[in-house]
Amino acid sequence: MAPVVVPGVNIPLLTGPLVLGYMFGYGLYGILIVQVYIYSELFPTERFGIRAVVWTLFFLETVFTFFTTISAYRQYGIGWGDIDTILFVDWTWDPLPALNGTVAGIAQSFYIWRVWSLSRRVWPPILIGCTMATGVMMAFYFGIVVAVQGGGIDKLFALSPEITVWLSASAICDLLITISLVQIFIDRKKNTNLARTVGTLNQLIRFSVETGSVTSAMAIIELILWLTSGKKWNIHFIFFLTLGKTYSNMLVATLNSRARVFSDSIGQTSMAPLTISMFWPDMGSTTAGSSHRTLNTSRYTHSEVVIDPDRDIVVMDEFYPRSNHEQRHDKPQYLEP
């Protein structure tokens, strides 16, 4: 069968990006399933708020994948060969902008909370939060207008300013979050001379840059593709269909990285969750609203413990195993942050 030919229209550049977006989306969803499973195994007693964020993101991504699966089947199954399937967006795409905006907003709100909890400064989180809220509102506005006015491609072009604001706000928010976290960790490095603490901070800086740059780069690339070729080709849809899952994967990966970063900082080799950690003071809470956190030092001795009650941080350095004779006479210690 000869391919469908439309004068002046490059069919592969309209359908091909959608195929890649669907496939990459399935791949990222599979990675997210593994990430969530690892998280549930490593942190079974995580505080309720963080667990709620993880499972909410997983639920939203499952819904997003459900709708994209229906859309893919309607376009390349029952609608195969029908040119209208690439000129009109059907009902399965109506909730996708709102879902993408919600996922991005939840992930960015988590990092905004982390910036505030580490710095205790009000204005940086407010600035980042306003940028995040702008992107989320534009995503919802775009989805509502397209759903009400119909899914014609011409409706997408008419909303080009709103889409530009949405993508720009998302990219700027990611950049501000990354800069804020890196600056916080750099400031902490200047205030400590402990070798292991400095090593942990270096890992946190590197991880913050890596995770922040991935989502920022994807948002910026999608914005550039939309502005330069959005009215001709669908290449930007590759990132539209995968950006939300990237946010979810980066957030859960950040949570899972605590097991590696902080177990290395105290010399542990297992992947078991730690009782307490630097810059993640909430890890020690086994129940929501706990008034104290347990520091289990029955198996380790240390050369120095620095407690900063104003910032709710415990920094530990130079851990090494104690002898069996010493362990028998030790009891768990409790530190009030």
Radius of gyration of the chain (CA): 24
Flag the least confident range among 34-38, 207-211, 287-291, 310-314: 287-291
Flag the least confident range among 236-240, 295-299, 326-330: 295-299
Is residue 272 scored above 60 in pLDDT?
A: no
**What is the dihedral sign for C-alpha 97, 98, 99, 105?**
positive
Q: What is the pLDDT, as a whole number, of residue 283? A: 43
Q: What is the pLDDT, as a whole number, of residue 78? A: 84
Q: What is the pTM of this model?
A: 0.75
Q: What is the mean pLDDT of residues 98-116?
A: 93
What is the band of 243 on the pLDDT scale with cuts at 50, 70, 90? very high
Rounded to the nearest 10 degrees, how much is the dihedral formed by the CA atoms of 101, 107, 111, 116?
70
Q: What is the pLDDT, as a whole number, of residue 94? A: 86
Q: What is the pLDDT, as a whole number, of residue 93? A: 87
* Of 1-15, 30-44, 279-293, highest mean pLDDT: 30-44
Residues in CB range of 66: below 8 A, 6 or more apart = none
Give dist(CA 329, CA 46) in Å, integer: 29
Place of tokens 């997210």: 32
Q: What is the mean pLDDT of residues 112-121?
A: 89
Is residue 34 scored above 90 in pLDDT?
A: yes
What is the band of 5 on the pLDDT scale with cuts at 50, 70, 90? low
Contact 248, 61 (CB under 8 A): yes
Place of tokens 């976290």: 181
Percent of the chain with pLDDT over 70: 70
What is the band of 337 on the pLDDT scale with cuts at 50, 70, 90? very low
Flag the least confident range among 31-40, 77-86, 162-171, 220-229: 77-86
Is residue 289 scored above 60 in pLDDT?
A: no
- Count the Cβ atoms, other than its own, within 10 Å of residue 197: 21
Contact 72, 96 (CB under 8 A): no
Is residue 178 scored above 70 in pLDDT?
A: yes
CATH level 3 topology of 11-265: Rhopdopsin 7-helix transmembrane proteins (1.20.1070)
Give dist(CA 322, CA 243) in Å, integer: 47
Q: What is the pLDDT, as a whole number, of residue 309? A: 41
Is residue 114 scored above 80 in pLDDT?
A: yes
Is residue 296 scored above 50 in pLDDT?
A: no
Flag the least confident range among 14-18, 194-198, 203-207, 294-298: 294-298
Q: What is the pLDDT, as a whole number, of residue 86? A: 72
Is residue 334 scored above 90 in pLDDT?
A: no
The CATH 1.20.1070 domain(s) of the chain lie at: 11-265
Residues 40-84 have pLDDT tens digits of: 999 998 899 999 999 999 999 999 999 999 999 988 888 777 777
User: To the nearest whole number, what is the mean pLDDT of the chain?
Assistant: 76
Beta bridge partners of 289: none
Is residue 169 scored above 90 in pLDDT?
A: yes
Is residue 270 scored above 50 in pLDDT?
A: no
